[in-house]
């Protein structure tokens, strides 16, 4: 039986109709909202490629069912973090530090880092490493990612 629901994504209302309310939020964001920031990585919430913010908290959208999202919940994806004309400081720093190699993990890294910087605007390197310990990067750009986060924090 189809379920129709309105959710808030990047400040805009999005009406979705799904056959299964247990469908992961990731699929709604990619297929219905047409967003490409959150990525399918592992499907188990272990790699972080699908990270988005729900009410300011980082969430693995591949394991968060649509049914767990309420009408007042605010979802922010990488596309809503900044704009092309006014990118978020993290987006600018990741480009400046050339922190992207293949780019697959970067959505999760930036979204996790944005949540960290919101709570702790000037994190130390150990704090950054702890915040990102559950985000995986196969390419090994970890040092550049840490430099980018420090740059965005103004350190």
> End-to-end CA distance of the chain, in Å?
52
* CA 64/CA 45 separation, integer angstroms: 9
The distance of Cα 127 from the centroid of its chain, to the nearest Å, equals 19
Confidence tier at 5 by pLDDT (50, 70, 90): very high
Q: Which domains does the chain have, with CATH numbers?
A: 3-81 (3.10.20.30), 89-153 (1.10.150.120)
CB atoms within 10 A of CB 22: 11
* CA 135/CA 139 separation, integer angstroms: 12
Rounded to 5°, the CA angle 98-104-107 comes to: 80
Query: What pLDDT, in 10s, does the model give residues 6-65?
Result: 999 999 999 999 898 899 999 999 999 999 999 999 999 999 999 999 999 999 999 999
Tokens of residue 102, six digits: 């293949």
Question: What's 57's DSSP letter?
Answer: E
Query: What pLDDT, in 10s, does the model give residues 116-130?
Result: 999 999 999 999 999
Would the pLDDT of 1 be above 80?
A: no
Would the pLDDT of 151 be above 90?
A: yes
């Amino acid at each position: 039986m189809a379920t129709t629901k309105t959710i808030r994504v990047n400040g805009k209302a999005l009406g979705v109709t799904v056959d299964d309310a247990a469908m992961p939020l990731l699929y709604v964001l990619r297929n219905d909202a047409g967003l490409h920031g959150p990525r399918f990585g592992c499907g188990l919430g272990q790699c972080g490629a699908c990270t988005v913010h729900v009410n300011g908290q980082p969430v693995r959208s591949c394991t968060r069912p649509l049914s767990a999202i309420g009408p007042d919940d605010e979802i922010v994806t990488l596309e809503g973090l900044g704009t092309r004309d006014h990118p978020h400081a993290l987006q600018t720093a990741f480009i400046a530090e050339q922190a992207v190699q293949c780019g697959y993990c970067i959505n999760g890294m930036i979204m996790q880092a944005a949540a960290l910087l919101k709570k702790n605007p000037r994190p130390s390197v150990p704090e950054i490493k702890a915040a990102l310990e559950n985000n995986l990067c196969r390419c090994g750009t970890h040092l550049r990612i840490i430099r980018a986060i420090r740059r965005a924090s103004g350190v």
